[in-house]
Amino acid sequence: MSSTEYSDYIDDADPVEEVLPSNHIQVELPIELRGERIDKAIAKVLTEYSRSKIQQWLEAGLIYENERQIQVKDNASGNQILDISIPLDPQNSAFLPENIPLNVIFSDEHIAIIDKTYGMVVHPAAGNWTGTLLNALLYQFPECSLVSRAGIVHRLDKDTSGLLVIAKNAIAQLGLVKQLQGRSMQRKYLALAWGKTPLTKVIHGSIGRDPRDRLKMGITLGSGKEATTHVKTLCHTRFEGKDLSLISCVLETGRTHQIRVHLESIGHALVNDPVYKNRIPHQTAQTLKDQLLAQNIHLPGQFLHAALLGFTHPLNEEHLIFTQSPPLPMLQILEFLKIDPSLWQKSLETCD
């Protein structure tokens, strides 16, 4: 399945790497793999690399048979010997297993539910080629090495905590992606935002790269990807004379930084967001951060937690709902602001 088929997959673009070959190896594909898509066949033999990595090598023209370049669309003929030029690139280690602890909420032979900690990058990228959720999955669930993107079908930002579903085989992955595309997967988040948010609000706004800052996303007119976020206020509070709101957010779509961009666009940026912070009371925000640090309460990034994930099991069709409490620093921040920490559970209620 190509990256373009993941219409709700965060960071859809999957550019071909521009790399220089360095390490030449030969791989023999046995007759039993005849008829398999060539990337799948290679992945079954070269298990230390993911299918997405092998697809990139194919697209970059690094795999040959008898001096003929193998194409992505080719099928294995069996009893083949392929010459592969593995790039000398830090990305080579990006798809290797690493023994990184994971909080596995649920696991069967087809899927796994992970409670991702804040501070963990989901997928390898520039500056984070190792130590990612993908590396941890390849160690914890070796079968994920045979699935595109190691079974990852949706992501959370580095400093967003909470629930993710992982596919352990291609059939499960396809079923989960279809639910994302059909907008039937339930994803509910707990967030703390600046300002006094309305009781309920539906935010529409296409999201694309900010033309003034390519490292940010923004609301784009006439371009970008359609995005919709449902917001429900759980309570309001005040700090140093400024309003804050505990809210739940329900995603219809899953665009890059969607909740953060949408809330900033209506004047309610997330507390402690290092990037999207227009129209926040900056001096009060710094005072809050300083006082929290004085209490030994530290949150590295935005106050955003994926608290609920619901979907239909892609194989047995059972409807599953998983919930997960926010990490301790978030609960401590709520207590510091005199917000009942148990209010996070209200974020699990239906938000229309």
When pLDDT is averaged across residues 287-303 and rounded to a whole number, the result is: 96
Burial level of 91, CB count in 10 A (0-12/13-18/19+)? Answer: middle
| Joined tokens for residue 335 | 């207590």
* Residues 154, 258, 11, 174, Cα dihedral to 10°: 30
**Strand duo 80-87 + 63-65: pairing:** antiparallel
In DSSP terms, 250 is beta-bridged to 188, 230
Q: Which fold has domain 186-348?
A: Pseudouridine synthase (3.30.2350)
pLDDT tens digits along 166-208: 999 999 999 999 999 899 999 999 999 999 999 999 999 999 8
Rounded Cα–Cα distance for residues 220 and 208 (Å): 6
pLDDT tens digits along 308-337: 999 999 999 999 999 999 999 999 999 999
Q: What is the pLDDT of residue 88?
A: 59
Catalytic, out of 39, 115, 157, 159: 157
Q: Could you tell me where the beta strands, DSSP code E, fall in 21-150?
A: 21-29, 63-65, 68-69, 80-87, 103-107, 111-116
Q: What is the pLDDT of residue 85?
A: 83
Rounded Cα–Cα distance for residues 342 and 346 (Å): 8
Q: Concatenated DSSP letters for 326-346?
A: PPHHHHHHHHHTT--GGGGGG
pLDDT band for 60, please (50, 70, 90 cuts). confident
Phi, psi of 127 (to 5 degrees): 90, -15
When pLDDT is averaged across residues 222-239 and rounded to a whole number, the result is: 93
pLDDT band for 21, please (50, 70, 90 cuts). very low
Q: What is the pLDDT of residue 57?
A: 86
**Residue 329 identity (one-letter amino acid):** P
Q: What is the pLDDT of residue 46?
A: 87
195 — alpha (psi -120 to 50), left (phi > 0) or beta?
left
**Residue 269 identity (one-letter amino acid):** A
Q: What is the pLDDT of residue 90?
A: 59
As its CATH architecture, domain 18-88 has Roll (3.10)
Q: What is the pLDDT of residue 3?
A: 33
When pLDDT is averaged across residues 6-33 and rounded to a whole number, the result is: 56
- End-to-end CA gap in the chain: 33
Reduce the DSSP state of residue 166 to 3 states and report it: strand
What is the overall mean pLDDT for the chain?
87
| Joined tokens for residue 50 | 């993911």
| Joined tokens for residue 61 | 């023209």
54 — alpha (psi -120 to 50), left (phi > 0) or beta?
alpha
Pick the most confident of 56-65, 80-89, 272-281.
272-281
Q: Concatenated DSSP letters for 89-118?
A: SGGGGGGS------EEEEE-SSEEEEEEPT
> For 204, what's the count of Cα atoms within 13 Å in the CB-facing half-sphere?
2
- Say yes or no: domain 97-181 is CATH 3.30.2350.10: yes
Residue 210, H or E segment: strand 207-210
Give the residue, 47 or 335, on which the prediction is more confident: 335
186-348 matches 18-88 in CATH topology? no
Q: pTM for the complete prediction?
A: 0.76
Q: Hey, what long-range contacts does 102-108 have (CB within 8 A, 24 or more apart)?
A: 102/133, 102/136, 102/137, 102/140, 104/140, 105/163, 105/322, 105/324, 106/320, 106/322, 107/141
- How large is the C-alpha radius of gyration of the chain? 22
Q: What is the pLDDT of residue 92?
A: 55
pLDDT tens digits along 100-157: 999 999 999 999 999 999 999 998 776 777 899 999 999 999 999 888 888 999 999 9
Q: What is the pLDDT of residue 20?
A: 36
Give the residue, 64 or 56, on which the prediction is more confident: 64
**Strand duo 103-107 + 111-116: pairing:** antiparallel
Phi, psi of 237 (to 5 degrees): -150, 175
Active site residue 157: yes
Rounded Cα–Cα distance for residues 318 and 275 (Å): 39
Q: What is the pLDDT of residue 37?
A: 93
Q: Could you state, in order of their start, the residue ranges of all structural domains in the chain?
A: 18-88, 97-181, 186-348
Rounded Cα–Cα distance for residues 213 and 144 (Å): 35
- Residue 83 · residue 24 · CB < 8 Å: yes
